[in-house]
Structure formats: structure tokens, C-alpha cells
Amino acid sequence: MTESHADTPEEEPLFRVTEAARAAGVASSTLRLWETQGLIAPQRRASGQRLYSAADVARLQRIAYLRREAGLNPAAIRATLEAESDAPAPPAITNEPLGMALRALRQNRGETLETVAQALGVSASALSTLERTGAGVSFKTLADLAQYYGTTVSRLSGQEEVGQPVVRAGAARVWPMPVEGVRVEVLAEGRRQMDCHRFILAPGAASEGGYGHEGEEFITVLEGRFRLTLDGTELHELGVGDSIYFESRRPHAWANAADGRTVVIWVNTPPTF
């Protein structure tokens, strides 16, 4: 099947206002308000359509966090963003083997980027970036992709390739997540009946939507505060020492609810994550 133009490596991913708003967890009208307040300046087509780059989307997510969690007004948000822009930029998150694996899965099925993007409700340009760099999507999108291709996030990470029985403190393998602010440490390698991970979430980190799969899950909070929403309406906010157990088939969305980082132990069984 002929590859679409969206496979072209030189293309920068651009997101429409609805896609950018969904990634930031706000309404499209909120993005237009933030534009009038000088918080964001998207590109525009000749027709006037707003287009947001990956960097714009990251900025929108930061604005949403500062507004919702820190309670800052527009002037304070602008000052915070300006101060942060003067700081050294963090290293880019990439996981090229993940991108290559996803591209191979798609091509083996004879599908175009547009076909997969339409099925998942995301942009083809975002999937193109993911396949090239292994970065640039939400956690929900990554989980949806794994389910779409009949695999799991853990298998895509290569978790089943080795199987040491002991993982020493400070020596856990880190899977470079393609999601900003999410660090995953693998606590049990090889073919197991459980996926065992330590999630370290930066301020503002979130799944950006709910996802579900087979199995059951256990989460306990080691540091910070963790917000979990089940079935879109059932909200649980967990503090240090709190735990929760739920069926994985229930759509679950999550977020770091603390001003600083949040650390949780997350176990899935069977290994369907």
C-alpha cells in the first residue's frame, strides 16, 4: 500500500485547535482565550485556521497545570513561563526503537498513518512524529496504539527480553517514555504474570484521557498525590500510603495531583499493560 505524505520525515507535527485542546485537557474556547491573554501564539493558515506545534502543545499543558493546580492568574502564568524559558532546556525525550516497532506493526498490516490516526482519533502528523522519534504523544494514545495493534506497552518497551529475578535499588531499567514528565522504572523483567513498575510523575504529568484493557491493577503511592478517575466520573485522590485496586477494563485516567513529583508503584496482572 502506498505510504501517505504524512510519512515524510521533514514534516513538523501540527495540531488543530480541537486536538491541542484535548491534549491540554481544556475546551477549544479556552485556547482562544489564552491567545487573547498573550499566553500562546499558534501559527495560522491563510484561511485563519489555528495550528499548534508540539512545543505549543507542551506549553498549553504547562499553562493548564499552572492555572488549575497552582491557581495562577494570566500575568503570573506569563511570568512563570518567561522564567522557565530562561532555564536550560531538558534533554529531548526519544525512544527510536519504540517508533520503529510501531511503524513495523502498521506497515505489516498494510495501513497508512491516516487510517490508524482516524481509528484512534488523533492526528496523522502526531503518529508520524512518534514513528520517527518514539515521542510526542499522550500516555492514553500510547496505550490505545498498543491495544490497536494487539500488543502491550510493556512488550513494546522490550520488557520481556530479559528476566533477572532481582532488581537492585537504583538499578531498575528505565524505559524512555515518549510522554513528557513520565518516568517508568521496570521492577520485574522477563515473562511474568504481573507488570511491575515504578512511575515517577513530574508536576502536571497526566494520561490525558482514559484507557482500558484486560486484567486488574494495584497502585500504591510512595510520594506526592495521585488522582485516578474511573469510568470518567469516579474520582479518587490518593496520598502517601494510600492504595487502590481496580479492574483494568474500566477506563482509567490519571494525573499527578501534587505541586512536586509523585511516585507510585503500579502492578498490572496479567501483563496486559
Give the pLDDT confidence of 123-137 residue by residue, as tens digits. Answer: 887 788 788 877 767
Which fold, 96-153?
Answer: 434 Repressor (Amino-terminal Domain) (1.10.260)
Per-position b or e across 215-252, b if 16+ CB within 10 A of its CB: bebebbbeebbbbbbbeeeeeeebeeeeebebebeeeb
Assigned CATH for 5-85: 1.10.1660.10
pLDDT of residue 262: 93
Whether 7 has a pLDDT exceeding 60, the answer reads no
Mean pLDDT of the chain: 82
Residues 233, 222: contact at Cβ < 8 Å? no
Domain boundaries in the chain?
Answer: 5-85, 96-153, 166-269
Peptide bond into 9 cis (omega under 30): no
Which fold, 166-269?
Answer: Jelly Rolls (2.60.120)
Q: What is the pTM of this model?
A: 0.59
- For residues 92 and 200, which has the higher predicted lDDT (pLDDT)? 200
Q: Angle at Cα 24 formed by Cα 20 and Cα 30, nearest 5°?
A: 80
In which band, very low, low, confident or very high, does the pLDDT at 8 lie, cut at 50, 70 and 90? very low
Q: Which three cell numbers stand for residue 19?
A: 486536538
Secondary structure (3-state) at 129:
helix
Mean per-residue pLDDT for 48-62?
A: 86
| Grid-cell match 491573554, residue found | 37
pLDDT of residue 108: 93
Whether 91 has a pLDDT exceeding 60, the answer reads no
In which band, very low, low, confident or very high, does the pLDDT at 159 lie, cut at 50, 70 and 90? low
Cα separation of 124 and 248, whole Å? Answer: 28
